Amino acid sequence: MRVRDATPLDVPAINGLYNALIPTTTVAWTEDLEPAQVREAWLAKQHQEDNPVLVAEVEGAVVGFASYDDFRDSTKWPGYRFTVEHTVHVATTHGGTGIGRALLEALIERAVTQGKHVMIGAIDSANTGSIRFHEHLGFAEVGRLIETGFKFGRWRDVVFMQRKVAPPNG
């Protein structure tokens, strides 16, 4: 397995990983598949804003991706500029193989390098596997918002997980 920066050539694989989860999971609170053009624009924006997008390859195939972006709008509210919200997606065929861990650890390293202070994960409360995964990597639950999302005909709760990635004064 190899973790590397994503390129525009990775967009179909990234989009496929994301869209594969939409119909059957609450990883993303949408029921609409994402068009490739939207993912292409997202990757271009991530690169322009120097936000990392990492992919994990196994035998030349992209089987996972991870990224982060502003937590809230740090242009409008610059006090948030040291906090990022991340996402990690791994192909269901490769779950439990260490790919998610490798991606998130690489993302944490990138956050440290970029001078970030805190990483946030927003996770559907029913996704106990993701919550445990984050706990194993040093994230702690810091908040829970009840019935803030809707998918599959029911209200969803979101759990906020947080990890400091820089020293208190760093």
Of the candidate CATH numbers 3.10.20.600, 3.20.130.10, 2.40.50.140, 3.40.630.30, the domain formed by 2-164 belongs to: 3.40.630.30
Q: How confident is the model at residue 167 (pLDDT cuts 50, 70, 90)?
A: low
pLDDT of residue 95: 86
Residue with tokens 């702690």: 140
User: Which pLDDT does position 169 carry in this prediction?
Assistant: 64
- Written as six digits, the tokens of 168 are 């208190």
- What is the Cα–Cα distance from 23 to 118, expressed in whole angstroms? 31
Evaluate if residue 170 carries a pLDDT over 60.
no
Q: State how far the Cα of 56 lies from the Cα of 67, in Å rounded to an integer.
A: 12
Buried b / exposed e over 20-48, threshold 16 CB at 10 Å, is bebeeebbbeeeeeeeeeebeebbeebee
Q: How far apart are CA 110 and CA 17, in angstroms?
A: 22
pLDDT tens digits, one per residue of 33-86: 999 999 999 999 999 999 999 999 999 999 999 999 999 989 899 999 999 999
pLDDT at 133: 97
**Mean pLDDT on 134-155:** 97
> pLDDT exceeding 70 applies to what percent of the chain?
98
pLDDT at position 43, please? 98
Mean pLDDT of the chain: 95
Amino acid at 144: R
Q: What pLDDT sits at residue 136?
A: 97
Radius of gyration from C-alpha coordinates of the chain: 16
* Boundaries of every domain in the chain: 2-164
